[in-house]
Structure 1
Amino acid sequence: MQTAGPSQPDLPAIPSKRYFTIGEVAALCDVKAHVLRYWEQEFDQIKPVKRNNRRYYQQQDILLIRQIKSLLHEQGYTTSGAKQWFKSQQSGDENIRYKELLRQTITELESILVTLKKR
């Protein structure tokens, strides 16, 4: 499953593998590793698997990190505002989550189409 982040077409597609190191996630989300560690402390939703004192992220973590980046860097939210946004999403309308999933699916399909056209 390859996915570009919502409203972030300049980010690379997410390779179809189960676990990603912090360095891979930093490159896929175009943020520094220390920023990922900070966001992990600030946003309870980011839950990498920890083994032998190393973090391993999954695809849903990468999508979440891309959403956080979009909220903070593109949409102008503060950290507390972004936390509130996620809180409202969790307790809010299921229709919003459906629309976001649909938007991510469309973005993924567009990314696949671009890749196929290049071949």
Structure 2
Amino acid sequence: MPDNSPTQNELEPIPGKRYFTIGEAAKLCDLKPHVLRYWEQEFDQIQPVKRSNRRYYQRQDLLLIRQIRSLLYDQGFTIGGARQWLKGDHASDDTKQYRQLLKQTISELEDIRDLLKTVR
């Protein structure tokens, strides 16, 4: 049976809001909410904000979830293999440092963007 699920590039763009409910996150990542809850247990990197027993995902969470989805569904990784890949066990030390610097830069740019939105 052919796999008709969309690839990461075919998913709808992530809207420019700060927080997403689990239902919104699941829809944007083409997953079921129970899959997101399960992945939170399997991947330490997924840490939605929890308030009043509800989960709120941020943009960086959705990007990470989409990457995990691609590793598992598109590239055929196992959960253990995806976990190792995300931890950078496949990469050299230079690549790990570059990846960390890139994540930090993206985070800082998103903070600047959010600050500029409030200034208007």
Q: TM-score, normalised by structure 1?
A: 0.71
The gaps in structure 1 that reach 5 residues or longer are 1-6, 102-119
Shift of 1:47: 0.5
Alignment of 1:16-27 (within 5 A): 16-27=16-27
> Closer, same or farther in 2 for the Cα pair 1:65/1:91, shift >3 Å?
farther
1:8-43 CA distance string (max 9 Å, x none): 221000000100000000000000000000000100
Number of positions where the alignment pairs a residue of Structure 1 with one of Structure 2: 94
Shift of 1:91: 7.8
2:51 maps to 1:57:
no
Q: TM-score, normalised by structure 2?
A: 0.71
- The alignment partner of 1:50 has SS state of strand
Alignment of 1:1-119 (within 5 A): 8-88=8-88, 92=93, 93=95, 94-95=97-98, 97=99
Distance 2:64 2:78 in 1: 16
The gaps in structure 2 that reach 5 residues or longer are 1-6, 104-120
Larger gyration radius, structure 1 or structure 2 = 2
Please, what is the CA RMSD of the aligned residues? 2.4
Distance 1:50 1:18 in 2: 14
Distance 1:43 1:12 in 2: 23
Sequence identity of aligned pairs in percent?
Answer: 66
Shift of 1:80: 0.3
Shift of 1:88: 1.5
Bigger relative contact order, structure 1 or 2 (CA pairs below 8 A, ≥6 apart): 1
1:83-111 CA distance string (max 9 Å, x none): 0101126984134x28x87xxxxxxxxxx
Distance 1:85 1:24 in 2: 26
2:10 maps to a residue whose letter is: D
